[in-house]
Amino acid sequence: MFAMDHSEIVDWQTFVNQNPWAAQALEQMAGVDEQLPKQCIAVFYVIDTTARKITHQLNAVTWSSDYKFRAAFRNLNWASMERTFKVEDDDILQLENPQTIINDGGEIFFLMHNDVVTGTVALVVENGEYQATWMAVANNYLGLGFTHALLVVITNWARIRGLPGISVLTSTTLGSAVSLYQTHGFQVTHFDEHCSGARYDMSLRLCL
């Protein structure tokens, strides 16, 4: 379990030790989800430190072939891609067939608020390396730090499995994305100045 205040995410018990009011706030929280989803691998309590309350609970779950998850993976990523780059045929193929990511040894993760999918990210296997991709957050949840939660989820998942690291491809035109990865310990491993501004002109890696 984690306490989450926008980009600040810490272990829940650590947060409670530093903020004793949090334990009571959890007990008083309306709508706390005591029955976690079957595939739940992490819980985030979103904190309002000024009001000293928990505003809502996010559950991180792994892939399910249920239509809700297939549709969310496609729709969230399609909308995110259209905001920055043209959706290409290869994108459509993977967005329409996410089960191939699982079949190839990868995993897809979702953030749930109540029964609503609010964000998603995937780890795909490329040449034996796990690569973070397809990260998107629903429009009405943007700016709340959910991408930070998604990165915490995949990092913990990778560490538990003893993976040596996670890589990611991005573009220098996406400054906020580059900053996000670097905040979580990713370091630039390659930059192609001849392709500056392209869809992928930079690679980063997090060593675990």
**110 burial level (CB within 10 Å; 0-12, 13-18, 19+):** buried
CA distance 133 to 92: 14
Residue type, 177: A
Tokens of residue 93, six digits: 């193929």
Mean pLDDT calculated for residue range 85-102: 85
CA distance 148 to 181: 9
Higher pLDDT pick, 76 / 84: 76
- In this prediction, residue 193 has a pLDDT band, given cuts at 50, 70 and 90, of low
Phi, psi of 64, rounded to the nearest 5 degrees: -135, 145
Secondary structure (3-state) at 143: coil
pLDDT at 33: 57
Mean pLDDT calculated for residue range 17-46: 83
> Where do the domains of the chain lie?
2-163, 164-208
List Cα–Cα distances, 37 to 60, 90, 121, 168, 177, in angstroms. Answer: 9, 32, 18, 28, 29
Mean pLDDT calculated for residue range 188-193: 72
From the candidate CATH numbers 3.40.50.150, 3.30.70.2860, 3.30.420.40, 3.40.630.30, the one assigned to the domain spanning 2-163: 3.40.630.30
CA distance 145 to 18: 21
pTM summary value? 0.89
